[in-house]
Amino acid sequence: MTKKTLKYSEAIEEVEQIISQIESNELDIDELSEKIKRASELLKFCKQKLHFTEEEIQKIINEMQDDDK
């Protein structure tokens, strides 16, 4: 079975679902712990994705500026 690559938008959507479940008291204590752990992983993924994207955009901008010289 192939592992699906997680997209930023999917990660954000899952975090929002977890927050909604927590706010509505849908989770028991065991589920709460697992959901918090999952949310933490997703937020770490999102932060890394944003950082990588920022670096890529800066690299492109720098290349464009170098081409103009």
Provide mean pLDDT across the span 24-47.
94
- Confidence band, pLDDT 50/70/90 cuts, at residue 1: very low
Q: In the chain, what is the straight-line distance between the N-terminal and C-terminal CA atoms, in Å?
A: 50
Provide mean pLDDT across the span 45-62.
96
Is the per-residue pLDDT at 51 higher than 50?
yes
d(CA 48, CA 25): 30
